[in-house]
């Protein structure tokens, strides 16, 4: 199995007709925790229980940045949807817009349920690298047979037999509604905001800001950096007077990270020799590539984190390498040594709210 399949199975808590599913809470935990809070046998849902969950699923126009936290265990998400949601957390919105337009033959910026299932499958194949074939448009008979083995694989291929929370949310209880890109865009934005809020709240302790040091911790939690303490020391020495990072600053930075590939191109236009750059050049490259304006304090904080020799410059090659690790959230979880006590206690409190 791929790392994604293993992680899906690790965090899934329910099954229906031999197929594993995540609850909304399972998904949130899979991208914010290293491992499940408890290891229990998968709970088998009855048709009555599943129907009740789906009946209580709000329509897409009632979506919010608390959707998954409100639903908690009252919903089911398939493996394909798990990968699709990971893409939403780590990919720029432009890619989804292009995908919508490919199916939008009449130009009304809507897709129906069957079109959406195909769209999901395209993104799944791009996300789950182990399953990608040379021709992503071709699904051969062997693949269909593989996906048909429900008990051995947690996949939910392009299949309309079992409704899920996401499908009902998008297409209604009868599955006949069409999904507008405007509503889907709001869903993407809300999901990204919800996960970022959970991460931010786990450190803010009820305040409107998190410390620059905690910001560094969050950045490095999903990376392969060996010497985390060295980066934290950079912050302590470079920013002796704590000002704090607001949620808007926090959110804008991670929106920028989802456009990291475009930023990389912009930086190469500045300097193909990979020389270090200053804060002005960095800020301009972010804006040119993504349209996002980062505050001076946020840019200064980023430079302090990654400025190892404290010369006021940033090795963008190293920065991009570390941040690419950050975008692999959900692949293998948080490194054990990065599970800070304050994060665990605050996260537990946040996720236990009813």
Which of 49-53, 148-152, 308-312 is least confident? 148-152
Mean of the per-residue pLDDT values of the chain: 78
34 pLDDT higher than 90: no
Which of 11-25, 52-66, 233-247, 304-318 is least confident? 304-318
Residues 259/327, Cβ–Cβ less than 8 Å: no
Look up residue 99 and give its two tokens: 């995908």
Which of 139-148, 233-242, 294-303 is least confident? 139-148
pLDDT at 332: 45
Query: Distance between CA 189 and CA 191 in Å, rounded?
Result: 6
DSSP 62: G
Query: Distance between CA 27 and CA 71 in Å, rounded?
Result: 11
Domains of the chain, by residue range, sit at: 3-190, 206-351
pLDDT at 273: 52
What mean pLDDT do residues 63-83 have?
95
Q: Of 70-84, 92-106, 152-166, which one has max mean pLDDT?
A: 70-84
User: 142 burial class (0-12, 13-18, 19+ CB within 10 angstroms)?
Assistant: exposed
Query: Distance between CA 279 and CA 302 in Å, rounded?
Result: 9
Query: Distance between CA 191 and CA 66 in Å, rounded?
Result: 8
Mind listing the pLDDT tens digit for each residue in 248-298? 999 999 888 888 888 887 777 766 555 567 888 889 888 988 889 999 999
pLDDT at 297: 94
pLDDT at 329: 54
The pLDDT confidence band at residue 327, using thresholds 50, 70 and 90, is: low
pLDDT at 315: 65
182 against 239, higher pLDDT: 182
106 against 219, higher pLDDT: 219
Query: Distance between CA 279 and CA 161 in Å, rounded?
Result: 53
Look up residue 62 and give its two tokens: 């009632």
149 against 37, higher pLDDT: 37
DSSP 213: H
What mean pLDDT do residues 107-132 have?
75
The pLDDT confidence band at residue 171, using thresholds 50, 70 and 90, is: very high
Backbone angles phi, psi at 62, to 5 degrees: -105, 15
Look up residue 223 and give its two tokens: 């990376």
Residues 66/194, Cβ–Cβ less than 8 Å: yes
150 pLDDT higher than 60: no
243 pLDDT higher than 50: yes
Query: Distance between CA 190 and CA 170 in Å, rounded?
Result: 14
Residue where the block lists tokens 């620059």 = 212
Beta strands 209-210 and 245-246, pairing class: antiparallel
Query: Distance between CA 210 and CA 232 in Å, rounded?
Result: 14
Q: Of 71-75, 135-139, 203-207, which one has max mean pLDDT?
A: 71-75
pLDDT at 101: 79
Beta strands 43-44 and 14-16, pairing class: parallel
30 pLDDT higher than 70: yes
Cα within 13 Å of Cα(108), Cβ side: 7
DSSP 317: H
Mind listing the pLDDT tens digit for each residue in 276-288? 678 888 898 889 8
pLDDT at 344: 40
DSSP 60: G
The model carries a pTM of 0.77
118 pLDDT higher than 70: yes
246 pLDDT higher than 80: yes
Look up residue 337 and give its two tokens: 């040594």
Which of 155-159, 201-205, 248-252 is least confident? 155-159
Query: Distance between CA 279 and CA 120 in Å, rounded?
Result: 39
User: What contacts 267, CB < 8 A, 6 or more positions away?
Assistant: 277, 285, 316, 320
């Amino acid at each position: 199995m791929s790392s994604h399949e293993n992680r899906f199975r690790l965090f899934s808590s329910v099954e229906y007709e031999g197929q594993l599913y995540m609850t909304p809470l399972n998904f949130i935990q899979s991208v914010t925790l290293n491992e499940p809070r408890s290891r229990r046998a998968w709970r088998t849902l009855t048709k009555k229980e599943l129907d009740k969950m789906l009946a209580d699923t709000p329509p897409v126009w009632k979506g919010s940045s608390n959707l998954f936290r409100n639903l908690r265990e009252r919903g089911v998400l398939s493996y394909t949807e798990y990968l699709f949601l990971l893409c939403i957390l780590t990919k720029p919105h432009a890619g989804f817009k292009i995908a919508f337009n490919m199916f939008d033959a009449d130009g009304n910026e809507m897709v129906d349920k069957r079109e959406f299932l195909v769209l999901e499958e395209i993104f799944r194949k791009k996300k789950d690298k182990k399953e990608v074939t040379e021709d992503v448009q071709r699904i051969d008979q062997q693949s269909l047979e593989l996906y048909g083995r429900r008990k051995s694989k947690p996949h939910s291929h392009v299949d309309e037999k079992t409704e899920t929370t996401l499908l009902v949310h998008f297409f209604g209880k009868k599955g006949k509604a069409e999904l507008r890109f405007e509503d889907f865009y709001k869903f993407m934005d809300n999901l990204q905001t919800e996960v970022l809020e959970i991460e931010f709240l786990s450190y803010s302790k009820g305040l409107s800001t998190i410390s620059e040091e905690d910001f560094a911790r969050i950045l490095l939690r999903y990376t392969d950096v060996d010497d985390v303490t060295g980066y934290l020391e950079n912050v302590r020495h470079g920013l002796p007077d704590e000002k704090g990072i607001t949620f808007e600053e926090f959110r804008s930075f991670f929106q920028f990270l989802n456009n990291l590939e475009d930023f990389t191109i912009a930086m190469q236009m500045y300097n193909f020799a990979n020389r270090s750059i200053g804060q002005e050049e960095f800020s301009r490259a972010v804006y040119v590539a993504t349209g996002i304006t980062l505050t001076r304090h946020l840019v200064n904080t980023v430079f302090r984190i990654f400025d190892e020799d404290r010369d006021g410059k940033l090795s963008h090659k190293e920065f991009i390498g570390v941040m690419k690790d950050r975008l692999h959230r959900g692949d293998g979880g948080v490194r054990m040594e990065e599970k800070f006590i304050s994060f665990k206690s605050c996260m537990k409190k946040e996720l236990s709210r009813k």
